[in-house]
Amino acid sequence: MNKIWKMVLALLMIAIIGMPLFAGGQRQGGTTGDTSREARLVGYLLGDELVGMAEVMREINRRMSRDINATMEIHYIGWGDLASRYPLVLASGDLDWIYTAPWAFYNQEAARGAFREITMDMFRTYMPRHYAVLDPAAYKQAETLVNGQMGIYMIPTSSPDRKVPAFIIRRDLRLRYGLPEIRRFTDIEPYLQAISANEPNMTPIMLDNTYDIKRPFSDQMVERGLFDTDIFPATGAGFNIMFDFRNTNGNIATIFDPPIRSASIEVANRVKSWYDRGFINADPFGNTVRSKEAFSQGRSAVGFGNSIDLQSNIATAMDNGWDVEIVPVIPPDRLAPRDAFTNNGVAIAATSRNVERTLMALDLLMQEESYVMLSYFGIEGRNFMINSSGRVDLPPGVTNDNNTYPIDRAGFWFVSKDVMPPLASWTDSYLRHRTELETILINSPLIGFVANRTPINTENANLNNVFMRYGQPLFLGAVPNISAAFDELEQQARAAGYDRVVEEARRQLTAYIRSIQ
């Protein structure tokens, strides 16, 4: 009876003064774990730290200290340093969690032991909010092969982005120079010519050395229906080994196959003509500023991104008095695969000494509405407000240009977007785009397929070097002769083990298809 009365008393104390149930026990939201020791958690996001980040983190830490007796320290890996710094950060061991996704080294780093396996019991115990809403398909998508066993080494988002690759242009400038509507990237050349001839302070396309550098090439290939899903995606050049997301026939194609090869040479020659005429910045290899940010600064007439990450750039353009159009990059059948749950996620570092508390902290960040709004929008009243229509708006005197914590730029892309209100800055063009996505996005039977690079570790390293050294200049058009450069790329790729990688890709895709049938 004494134990029962002690429990009743403890519950009464919670109701009256909001005390934790017991030291090291259950806290806000039902998370169970030992919180008696104060914990300092270190995490890494991608991109650049915002001016207002310190203030936002102070508020997050005030709440987190109260809720789970922990504080969090955030660091950033810049886009231009992603490929080089990401493995170094993990090798340092001085972190608890890091942003990850298949396109951001999830499978590679998991395979080499950099991430901690997360069991279903850990999800249930330390991330009850996230566990309650996460689709069962997300766990399957997160599985990857480590030491011969399939396991989950990341926490996927519960709200995959509704997005496709897209680009933005200045509609006001297009109309000023009497140009027709641009419905696809392949139609953009007259616009680039007009900008080059009439806007001396603007580069028609200003690319960065990581995200943008292949887009003028790949966007045109996508629009021809010749570039589907890259089996081994990588920042920059990729390996250009692709499968069709629409079906499960097991077919794969490469950039060196005859139909794609001839189209690739044709498109690369077109991009080269733009590069030679100054429509593209001369040295994107040394530029770390993404085109969409240069667009917001008025230095680029085109900004590359996707349906989600271009929102803030469109809002900034509105503040500047510019009229902007967003154009999706999709195949001729106007279909694209829905995002996987794993396209935004978090991994726990294998070296973390705070695994349980890190999971508890991420549960708050990813699902608790007050944390989500803080991490994504900043301080209410300073960085954002909810207007009379119930939309996320900017406070009086705050613009997207002077906001110290602009929307979607902090790198917390894995938080639940299902708890977010709509944005006041969504323009008619953007709202039409969002509506259009309903007819474009389809559920791909292969959405959960993620290739494992472990069997091709040596070839993977060699091909990364080949496609960075020979592929990027070719796709950019920064070579004297496209056909000769293409031949050189193929020769170097095959010498680096390309054919073995193609066969491994085919084997893994076939095995995955068998597993889902």
pLDDT tens column, 446-459: 887 878 777 888 99
Q: Is residue 455 part of a domain?
A: yes
Check whether residue 292 and residue 359 sit in a common domain.
no
Longest dimension (CA), the chain: 87
- Whole-number Å distance between alpha carbons of 380 and 395: 9
- What is residue 166's three-state secondary structure? strand
Place of tokens 């396109």: 103
Looking at the structure, tell me whether residues 177 and 143 fall in a common domain.
no
Look up the CATH number of the domain holding residue 244.
Answer: 3.40.190.10
Say if residues 351 and 95 touch (Cβ distance below 8 Å): yes
Q: Say which residues have a Cβ less than 8 Å from residue 180's Cβ, sequence separation at least 6.
A: 187, 190
**pLDDT > 50? residue 3:** no
Same structural domain for residues 180 and 283? Answer: yes
Judge whether 388 lies within some domain.
Answer: no
In the prediction, which pLDDT does 400 show?
A: 82
Tens of pLDDT, residues 72-85:
999 999 988 898 89
Are the CB atoms for 247 and 445 separated by under 8 Å?
A: yes
Say how far apart CA 406 and CA 399 lie, in whole Å. 9
* Inside any domain, residue 409: no
Q: What is the mean pLDDT of the chain?
A: 90
Over residues 225-254, mean pLDDT: 82
Q: What is the pLDDT of residue 505?
A: 93
Count Cα atoms within 13 angstroms, Cβ side, for 85: 14
The number of C-alpha atoms within 13 Å of 349 and in the hemisphere containing its C-beta is: 22
Domain enclosing residue 127, as ranges: 10-153+345-377
C-alpha 79: how far from chain center:
11
CA quadruple 347, 353, 356, 360: dihedral sign: negative
Q: Are 95 and 43 in contact (CB under 8 A)?
A: yes
My answer on whether 244 and 366 are in the same domain is no
Q: What is the 3-state secondary structure (H, E, C) of 92-133?
A: HCCCCEEEECHHHCHHHHHHCCCECCCCHHHHHHHCHHHHHH
Q: How many domains does the chain have?
A: 2
> Both 285 and 326 in a single domain?
yes
pLDDT the model gives residue 8: 40
Token pair, residue 496, equals: 């680096």
- Please give the Cα distance from 260 to 256 (Å, whole number): 7
| Whole-Å CA distances, 285 to 207, 211, 230, 493 | 9, 11, 22, 21
Q: What is the 3-state secondary structure (H, E, C) of 343-389?
A: HCEEEEECCCCCHHHHHHHHHHHHHCHHHHHHHHHCCECCCEEECCC
Phi/psi for 481 (5° steps) reads -140, 120
318 and 245 within one domain:
yes
> Can you tell me the mean pLDDT for 84-96?
96
* pLDDT score for 234: 58
Per-residue pLDDT band at 128 (split at 50, 70, 90): very high
Q: Are residues 101 and 181 in the same domain?
A: no
38 and 60: one domain?
yes
pLDDT over 60 at 48, yes or no: yes
Contacts of residue 251, defined as CB under 8 A and 6 or more positions apart, other chains included, come to 243, 244
CB 182 within 8 A of CB 328: no
pTM for this predicted structure: 0.73
pLDDT tens readout for residues 12-31: 433 433 333 323 344 444 45
Same domain for 472 and 332: yes
Query: Do residues 252 and 372 share a domain?
Result: no
- The answer to whether residues 280 and 370 belong to one domain is no
